[in-house]
Chains A and B, each alone.
Chain A
């Protein structure tokens, strides 16, 4: 069982949450219709082999959106906070 430390409810099982998407994407501000920034915002996604910031919806709890730092490789939940919180990425080993 994976547990997410919801900033509102405390430690809850991940079954209470629904994955929303990538939390690192910032909506372009005032960009043109065909601006490449929109293509990047809507379609381009990284698939890192390690920690990744994600948004999850706590639908069976407080119904708030939670930002989660999850290791995509190991599924380990490394941290959680409110969407506006800055969650620092952990230092990762650099591979040659």
Chain B
């Protein structure tokens, strides 16, 4: 360890810790887990300090690391990191004193907030993440491409698709529960699922069937 490294890390930590905690809170079901995600993310940063890019890109790189830490956390056993103990306790205290909802004017409409949250949760993960990065982290397309490790063109396609699906979901919700349930596949702009034809054991997909002579089932 060198003093320079510690100073560099500390400056980066000071600049980013609240944004990182917000990023983690937006993606964890249990707020206490967000503290562990923050701690594990910064541990990666500390170990890979030489890889942290300069300037504004550093925050994007940080989100990319946090995204992978989150992906691991959702797949494996939930771990409690002792380094995060105090942040976790303080976070719990802060939550206890927070209003149930409504930090912004629009949030006063509790029904609308619930609908959009539900609609987003129904979307594929790739759609959800690109929407979150736009709406909550307020990132541009280039920045999102850096976080996700994909091209700007891919971000453009994903964002277009995600916005359309979210809009359709919200419209379906507004049109009523029956319409939402009955037209979910169409509402999200997806190809309807495979339909069985008359032959036993044959699945005909929306586009690609099995090669001639091959039947696939179950």
A in complex with B: no
